[in-house]
Chain A
């Protein structure tokens, strides 16, 4: 799915700060960050709709989302922890009403040393 691009594709970090980037070319209003740890299903972290943060699940404060415009989403991570090793997916949907189909990017695989 080249309509949602994420960068970087792979990230190996010690206790550093880094930002994940996502851009969607679908004209959608809603954008999401999901975390998928090994052997687990994707879990919602943050949801933006029309650039407003409307869902903030129980996520450590070292994760800070940013939505600079309706097509871009950032995830800033400070002082990563080994438990943060996972694949981080960006997704988008037309809106947030029931039965919206989510479109996922290919993910950023974060490995914490």
Chain B
């Protein structure tokens, strides 16, 4: 069974800071890695995904994947108070339609 672990558990940063979130997974055969954002009382919202080794940039978000070390990271540039949420790393298990989620990192961006 795939295991997804995230760090840190929580993070408090000032507005404008660069945020770095980490995720490790156990199955090198896993497919895409997704990052979801979840605000209190809401469903998760997909932010960005990556499949190939390397990095991918979308707006203020950059994601890095290293399959050899089974590690993926999400970086948020110029963080805003509206970025305050739980960030969930999720691993797609091939063509099964199944996502395995990590426990999440709670981010608080202080104005």
Contacts and interface: CB of A to CB of B under 8 A. Distances in A.
Interface residues of B, number: 24
Given A41-B104, A43-B101, A96 B95 contact: yes
B97 A107 contact: no
B45 interface: yes
Interface stretch (B36-44, B53-61, B62-70, B73-81): B36-44
Contact of B94 (A4, A55, A98): A98
Contacts of A47: 97-98
B99 interface: yes
A77 interface: no
Contact of A41 (B94, B95, B98, B101): B101
A97 B43 contact: no
A37 B94 CA distance: 25
A98 B92 contact: yes
Contacts of B4: 41
A41 B102 contact: yes
Interface of B: 4, 31-32, 34, 41-46, 49, 51, 88, 92, 94-99, 101-104
List 4 tightest A-B contacts by C-beta distance, closest first.
A104-B43, A96-B97, A41-B101, A98-B31
5 contacts: A32-B97, A39-B103, A96-B97, A98-B31, A98-B51
